[in-house]
């Protein structure tokens, strides 16, 4: 179920989507002058160009709304450029598909609605790059439903008596942006498992969906989804891993599991963890099981052979740089110079558990470079993109321009 506050969030993004659709229609109006008396090939191109302008404008405004919603300063990051660029590409592709079908099958209103649905789906997918943990499927589904709904309204508007083509395009495209923003946000809220509630004051709070993509909180307005000026560049990182909600204190290098209801004050904000009821139960069960395991392995004074605390691994790099390797820790090109990330988030390596034995940790290669690994026994291995090297003391990893040694303690 969507709460009233969450519906307000969806309407907020819908309003910005509507502005994007209207602006896109205004900017694309000169292109629409090429719709008449053109060969089919040219008509398809100009329709695609008009649709690309709309898609890019809607994507831009909704990503801009995301920054305003979380009180972030606007920055042209890779994710922002990717979202807007894909909105343009998605709009262009939708225009080609829709006009080709329109010309091949015939001018029917059903095809026109379907065309708007295609554009909405592609723009919604593009927005998944700009909205944390929206996800491709939720963005696609929300955008498709929004596009179809906007398409129906567009047809109703366009056939209204006395309404000229220009006014019909302006109002109809604004409606498209409204419903894309609305449905994408509703899809995000209805199918999320966990989220953060960020309280800025007595009457102002925001929500951010949690998932596999880390949600960073700190004073770096480019790398952090939640910007708090007085905090370190990246102070805390939240994410969901294997059904558990994890919080990493970057300063200390510690990662702990947190339960729904967990709160902490960070500068001027208060962060509260929330989860759906079914996930809440699974987290509670995991906490209980973890507590039992901890008690069963707790050492008694003077009792040999029992580990009293988990081993902490470190990656020792040149010039004295040391990275603490805890579960979920993500390293960027700033941490390991010379590596290029495979994804737009800038992550080149990540610490993960072995799915067959959670007690074993490994460092996963998320870069384009193949690592050369020398194990303590002298054996050498190549760790290609997507593969993981087990964290073992005295293992040496050659990253290309830099190399590091794994230590523990």
Element (H, E) at 245: strand 244-249
pTM for this predicted structure:
0.62
Cβ proximity of 270 and 279 under 8 Å:
no
Give 65-115 pLDDT, tens digit per residue. 988 888 887 777 777 888 888 889 888 988 888 788 777 776 677 877 887
Fold match between domain 194-296 and domain 313-408: yes
Question: Taking the alpha carbons of 334, 335, 339, 340 in that order, is the dihedral positive or negative?
Answer: negative
Q: Is residue 360 within a helix (H) or strand (E), and if so which, with residue range?
A: strand 357-365
Phi, psi of 184, deg, nearest 5: -65, -45
CA distances from 187 to 145, 164, 177, 277 (A): 10, 34, 15, 18
At 339-395, the pLDDT tens digits run 888 777 788 998 988 877 778 889 989 888 899 999 888 888 888 888 899 998 889
Class of domain 194-296: mainly beta
The two structure tokens encoding residue 114: 């379907």
313-408 CATH, one of 2.30.29, 2.60.200, 1.25.40, 3.30.1300? 2.60.200
Residue ranges per domain, the chain?
4-191, 194-296, 313-408
Rounded (to 5) percent helix, strand, coil in the chain: 45, 25, 30
The pair of three-digit structure tokens given for residue 29, joined into one six-digit string: 């109006």
Closest CA to 13 of 182, 196, 209: 182
Per-residue pLDDT tens, the chain, 409 aa: give them: 456 667 888 899 999 999 999 999 899 888 876 666 678 888 888 888 988 998 899 999 998 998 888 888 777 777 788 888 888 988 898 888 878 877 777 667 787 788 788 888 888 888 888 787 888 888 899 989 988 888 888 777 766 655 556 776 788 788 888 999 899 888 888 888 899 999 988 778 889 999 888 899 998 887 888 888 888 989 999 988 877 888 988 888 788 888 888 999 988 899 999 988 655 554 444 444 444 444 444 444 443 333 333 467 889 887 777 888 888 888 888 888 888 887 777 889 989 888 777 788 899 898 888 999 998 888 888 888 888 999 988 899 999 888 899 987 6
Phi-psi region at 115: left, alpha or beta (left = phi > 0; alpha = psi -120 to 50): alpha
């Amino acid at each position: 179920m969507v709460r009233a506050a969450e519906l307000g969030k969806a309407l907020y993004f819908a309003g910005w989507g509507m502005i994007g659709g209207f602006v896109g229609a205004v900017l694309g109006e000169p292109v629409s002058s090429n719709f008449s008396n053109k060969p089919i090939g040219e008509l398809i191109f100009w329709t695609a160009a008009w649709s690309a302008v709309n898609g890019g404008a809607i994507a831009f405004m909704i990503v801009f709304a995301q920054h305003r919603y979380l009180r972030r300063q606007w920055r042209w990051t890779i994710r922002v450029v990717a979202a807007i660029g894909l909105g343009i590409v998605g709009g262009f592709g939708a225009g080609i598909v829709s006009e080709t079908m329109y010309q091949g099958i015939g001018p029917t209103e059903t095809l026109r609605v379907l065309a708007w649905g295609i554009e909405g789906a592609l723009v919604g997918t593009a927005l998944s790059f700009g909205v944390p943990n929206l996800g491709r499927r939720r963005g696609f589904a929300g955008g498709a439903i929004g596009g179809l709904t906007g398409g129906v309204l567009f047809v109703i508007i366009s056939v209204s008596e006395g309404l000229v083509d220009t006014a019909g395009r302006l109002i109809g495209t604004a409606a498209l942006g409204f419903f894309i923003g609305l449905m994408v946000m509703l899809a995000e809220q209805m199918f999320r498992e966990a989220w953060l509630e960020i309280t800025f004051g007595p009457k102002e709070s925001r929500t951010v969906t949690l998932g596999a993509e880390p949600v960073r909180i700190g004073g770096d307005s480019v790398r952090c989804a939640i910007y708090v000026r007085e905090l370190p560049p990246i102070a805390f990182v939240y994410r969901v891993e294997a059904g558990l909600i994890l919080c990493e204190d970057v300063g200390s290098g510690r990662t702990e599991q947190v339960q729904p209801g967990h709160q902490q004050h960070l500068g001027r904000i208060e962060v509260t963890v929330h989860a759906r009821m079914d996930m809440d139960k699974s987290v509670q069960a995991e906490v209980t099981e973890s507590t039992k395991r901890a008690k069963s392995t707790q050492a008694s004074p003077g009792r040999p052979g029992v580990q009293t605390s988990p081993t902490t691994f470190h990656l020792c790099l040149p010039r004295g740089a040391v990275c603490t390797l805890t579960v979920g820790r993500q390293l960027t090109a700033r941490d390991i110079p010379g590596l290029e990330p495979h994804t737009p988030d800038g992550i080149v390596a990540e610490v993960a558990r072995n799915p067959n034995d959670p007690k074993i940790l490994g460092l996963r290669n998320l870069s384009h470079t193949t690592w050369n690994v020398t194990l303590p026994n002298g054996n050498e291995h190549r760790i290609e993109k997507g593969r993981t090297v087990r964290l073992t003391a005295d293992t040496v990893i050659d990253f290309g321009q830099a190399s590091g040694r794994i230590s523990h303690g």
